[in-house]
Amino acid sequence: MAVRLGAAALLLAIPAALALRGRRGVLRERWKPILMYGIFGGLTVQAAYFYAIQYIDIGLALLIEYLGVVLVVLWVWLRTRRRPGGLTLLGMVVAIAGLAVVLNPGDLADVDPRGLAWAALASLGMAVYFITSAGTPGIPPVAFVASGLGVGAVGLLLLGLVGLVPLTVSFADVPLFGVSLPWWVPLAELVVVAAVTAYVIGFIAARALGATVAGFVGLTEVVFAVAWAWLLLGELPGWVQLGGGLVLLLGVAAVQSGSQRDALANLDVSPEGAR
């Protein structure tokens, strides 16, 4: 985890420096959201999820973690003091229901509360990730992400040094699709695709769409995970899982449409819209 974030931060260092030419002071001005992004969006989500799956099923842990998008809605509601419209709220419920079907959290009897607590902490980290991404203008995305990932990497490294998260390194070949690959091939994929690309594009999307819509669009990650498992591993999803994915997509579309409708309604009640 720490290597992935740290290598991504180093890979983004030069583009970040170029983006900040003549504007180095912006990092000092935005140090609080950068710190929050790194600690919660980088460190907390990964470490808390790792601990959660030690006690509860992966599907349930992911379901609780993705409920962070609901925390985003509540935060926006509290901050703006404007209740989301009916279509947005309906889309939330539909999207979460579809997510639950896709993830199949399994038997909920005798669930370990420690796993629930860790998954809830991961959920909080996800919420802060979207909120800080959408609410930090005036700084180039690549610079913000590079700084935040650096903070997260240092935090994970410190946790590893004190034994709170596993910290091991292996340079052995990795078997994948019947082929033995050198260690740096999967590492490059994790760094370039799963870290650099994902975090930078995610930040840009959150800034463009807003925290609420970006959060719910992010739920489609599980749909793509199922699709890739089908294409690459031959793990054909069942009809119920496919139906859940469709419900999830419909819910996300409803949230997007509802958010646009809410924004237009807020413009209509403004002094400019009343004239």
More confident residue, 80 or 11: 11
146 band by pLDDT with thresholds 50, 70 and 90: very high
Distance CA(208)–CA(186), nearest Å, equals 31
Residue among 143, 19, 128 at smallest CA distance from 68: 128
| SS3 at position 106 | coil
Give per-residue pLDDT as tens, 211-254.
888 888 888 888 888 788 778 777 777 888 888 888 988 988 88
Q: How confident is the model at residue 81 (pLDDT cuts 50, 70, 90)?
A: confident
Q: Is the pLDDT of residue 268 over 70?
A: no
Give the residues across from 201 on adjacent strands.
none
Dist. CA 207–CA 100, nearest whole Å: 27
Predicted local confidence at residue 108, as pLDDT: 66
User: What phi and psi values does residue 181 have, to the nearest 5 degrees?
Assistant: -110, 145
Whether residue 19 has pLDDT greater than 50:
yes
The 10s digit of each residue's pLDDT in 192-221 is 998 999 999 999 999 998 888 888 888 888
**Residue 243 belongs to some domain of the structure:** no
Give residues with Cβ within 8 angstroms of 149, minimum separation 6.
5, 6, 8, 9, 12, 38, 42, 195, 199
Per-residue pLDDT, 275: 40
Average pLDDT of the chain is: 86
* Cα 185 from chain centre: 24
Q: For the whole model, what pTM was predicted?
A: 0.84
pLDDT of residue 237: 74
| Residues 100-108, mean pLDDT to the nearest whole number | 77
Residue 143 belongs to some domain of the structure: yes
Evaluate if residue 272 carries a pLDDT over 50. Answer: no
Domain assignment of residue 85, given as a range: 2-93+105-166+183-211
| H or E element in which residue 179 lies | strand 179-181
Residue 84 φ then ψ, to 5°: -60, 150
| In the predicted structure, residue 71 carries a pLDDT above the cut 50 | yes
Question: What is the DSSP secondary structure assignment for residue 82, as one 8-state letter?
Answer: -
Residue 219 belongs to some domain of the structure: no
Question: Does a structural domain hold residue 147?
Answer: yes
Number of domains in the chain: 1
With 50 as the cut, is the pLDDT of residue 274 above it? Answer: no
Q: What is the average pLDDT across 251-264?
A: 82
